[in-house]
């Protein structure tokens, strides 16, 4: 039988259009306009960089599961962390206020990487998943520099990105792209374990969040974003400023991009890299008033 391609490969002109006018990609996504409760929309995967047999598989597995929320679930906020004390200080008061207002049963777990190796956000988050699993029904993976202004921390039935509007005093306000899946993500524990968590292999900056989205989509979970979600995005400290990709990217960025595309070409099996292969050494545990911090060697 002659099957229609699920995701037609765009021609070169369309690629340019999608690159500079991302909202056009929405038209290519069959679930682009699907919405629940007038506020939550599926994260789109209509991104021309992802056209491959694997992305077609992802599309095939996308079923419009509606989003709902349940109450009385136990939340662990997992914050990957290194050298951002000032950000953590600024984050905790508004975060704990929001959680209390919403009546959430929560704990906050800061997972700090010891100095030495390049930062590994995905692996730190895996450590948080593993460490807190006995007391959690769902997690919120939370960047330390994302300060909630309007945020819904309830327990979602499908993975949910909480951040959409980025407000900032230093940069102009902006809207996250519809295929972005990072910043603050709430996800059920069973969904995290079903996809084997994050990859442990993204060192330095970038792309581990894309891989986590692909893992969830490949497992048939429909990921959402909250169109009302608004956060302040604090500027990174000078020493941790990410160099914007120029003509020649730093080696770790090229490595991370290449790894992500190997996944999209079906050359990496998430079952072989993630929570099941996680190794780390617990160096210290500290209990503070509203949060716990663990320091780990990766």
* DSSP calls for 83-121: S-HHHHHHHHHHHHHHHHHTT-EEEEEEEEEPSSSPP-H
Site string for Mn ion, 116-145 (x = CB under 5 A): -----------------------------x
Size of the site for Mn ion (CB under 5 A): 2
Asked if 240 is part of the footprint of ligand UDP (rule: CB under 6 A), the reply reads yes
Q: Give which of ligand UDP, Mn ion, none residue 84 binds (C-beta under 5 to 8 Å, depending on kind).
A: ligand UDP
How crowded is the C-beta side of 68, counted as CA atoms within 13 Å?
4
- Contact by Cβ (8 Å): 110, 287: no
**CA pair distance 161, 128, nearest whole angstrom:** 18
Asked if 290 is part of the footprint of Mn ion (rule: CB under 5 A), the reply reads no
Q: Which part of the chain contacts Mn ion (CB under 5 A), choosing from 116-124, 129-137, 173-181, 235-243? A: 235-243
Asked if 226 is part of the footprint of Mn ion (rule: CB under 5 A), the reply reads no
Instruction: Kindly state the smallest distance separating residue 183's Cβ from ligand UDP, in Å.
Output: 7
Asked if 23 is part of the footprint of Mn ion (rule: CB under 5 A), the reply reads no
Candidates 119, 198, 212, 291: give the one binding ligand UDP (CB under 6 A).
119
**CA pair distance 205, 143, nearest whole angstrom:** 13
Candidates 83, 85, 135, 286: give the one binding ligand UDP (CB under 6 A).
83
Q: How far is CA 191 from the centre of its chain?
A: 13
Asked if 282 is part of the footprint of ligand UDP (rule: CB under 6 A), the reply reads no
- Give the closest residue to 207 by CA, choosing from 253, 139, 250, 248: 253
């Amino acid at each position: 039988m002659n099957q229609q391609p699920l995701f037609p490969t765009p021609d070169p002109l369309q690629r340019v259009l999608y690159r500079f006018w991302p909202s056009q990609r929405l038209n290519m996504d069959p679930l682009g306009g699907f919405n629940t409760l007038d506020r939550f929309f599926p994260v789109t995967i209509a991104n021309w960089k992802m056209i491959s047999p694997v992305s077609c598989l992802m599309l095939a597995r996308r079923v419009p599961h509606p989003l709902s929320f349940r109450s009385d679930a136990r939340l662990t906020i997992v914050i990957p962390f290194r050298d951002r004390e000032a950000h953590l200080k600024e984050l905790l008061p508004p975060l704990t206020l929001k959680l209390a207002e919403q009546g959430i049963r929560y704990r906050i777990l800061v997972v700090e990487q010891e100095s030495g190796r390049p930062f590994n956000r995905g692996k730190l988050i895996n450590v948080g998943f593993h460490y807190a699993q006995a007391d959690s029904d769902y997690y919120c993976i939370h960047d330390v520099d994302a300060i909630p202004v309007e945020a819904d921390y309830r327990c979602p039935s499908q993975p949910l990105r909480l951040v959409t509007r980025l407000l900032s005093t230093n940069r102009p306000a902006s809207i996250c792209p519809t295929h972005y899946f990072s910043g603050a993500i709430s996800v059920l524990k069973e969904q995290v374990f079903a996809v084997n968590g994050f990859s442990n292999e993204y060192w330095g900056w970038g792309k581990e969040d894309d891989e986590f989205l692909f893992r969830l989509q490949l497992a048939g979970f429909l990921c959402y974003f909250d169109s009302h979600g608004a956060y302040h995005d604090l500027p990174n400290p000078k020493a941790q400023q990410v160099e914007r990709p120029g003509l020649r990217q730093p080696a770790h960025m090229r490595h991370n991009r290449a790894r992500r595309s190997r996944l999209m070409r079906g050359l990496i099996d998430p079952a072989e890299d993630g929570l099941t292969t996680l190794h780390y050494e617990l160096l210290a545990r500290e209990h503070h008033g509203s949060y716990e911090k663990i320091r780990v060697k990766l």
